[in-house]
Copies of this chain bind each other. A is one copy, B any other.
Amino acid sequence: MKILFPLVTADIALFTVQDRNLRVLMVKRANDPELGKWALPGGILNPATDADLDETAQRVLSGKTGVDVPFLEQVATFSGATRDPRGWSLSVLYYALLPSDQVHAVAGRATDAIEWRDAFAPGSRLAFDHAALIRAALATLRDKVDRAALPLHLLPARFTLTELQQTCESILGRSLDKSVFRRRLKDEPGIEQLAGEFLYGAQRPAQLYRAADGFRF
């Protein structure tokens, strides 16, 4: 007999950038169904403790990775009788961004193997319909960046404009013109120049910036 109530879960596509490549966090399933397959981190709603599904997502992500993200946004809801062998299921998909300098803070629980995968090629044979979920999350993220939203949550607290541009390029999958990119930032209230602070490398130092106070992606 099939269950009478749908299984309600929150799944999270947690993105970060490594070596100029957009990555997504996958977890190897330690339980049936789909045992051993790779899936997005996700978990079942607990009505007793979760005030809403956003809290479910935060709780699940925190439990599976040990990190709390400042940014968690709904992508879409996937539902149906056949997407999970346990029966009628409904997943609300979220995406979140992890600053590249905090990747080390992500640690799977002893029981869970985790892996950062190329967001554009997360592998075949993923669990459930999670390949489609990743595509949807990616499309939402790319759409936002295309619309001039800046993915500052992927960067460290202090960053250079070149780093920001490369991050955008990683998401959009195409190169941007340096001049055009910077011109658009001129009247962008979301980022603030850190006067007098520079990143020193092998060549000309680069001006450092940070996200403005009330910044919302």
Contacts and interface: CB of A to CB of B under 8 A. Distances in A.
A2, A4, A79 — most chain B CB neighbours (10 Å): A79
Interface in A10-67: 45, 47, 50-54
A4 B3 CA distance: 14
A47 B88 contact: yes
A4 B87 CA distance: 17
Contacts of A76: 74
A77 interface: yes
- Copies of this protein, total: 2
Contact of A6 (B2, B4, B47): B47
A5 B89 CA distance: 12
Contact of A79 (B2, B52, B87, B88): B52
B45 A6 contact: yes
A90 interface: yes
A130 to B, nearest CB: 16
B53 A77 contact: yes
Q: How large is the interface on A (under 10, 10 to 19, 20 to 34, 35 or more residues)?
A: 20 to 34
A77 B92 contact: yes
A4, A47, A52, A53 — most chain B CB neighbours (10 Å): A47
29 contacts: A2-B47, A3-B47, A4-B47, A5-B5, A5-B6, A5-B47, A6-B8, A6-B45, A8-B8, A8-B90, A47-B81, A47-B88, A50-B81, A51-B80, A51-B81, A51-B82, A52-B79, A52-B80, A52-B81, A53-B77, A53-B79, A53-B90, A54-B79, A74-B76, A74-B77, A77-B92, A79-B92, A90-B90, A90-B92
Contacts of A47: 2-6, 81, 87-88
A6 to B, nearest CB: 6
Interface in A80-125: 80-82, 87-88, 90, 92
A49 to B, nearest CB: 10
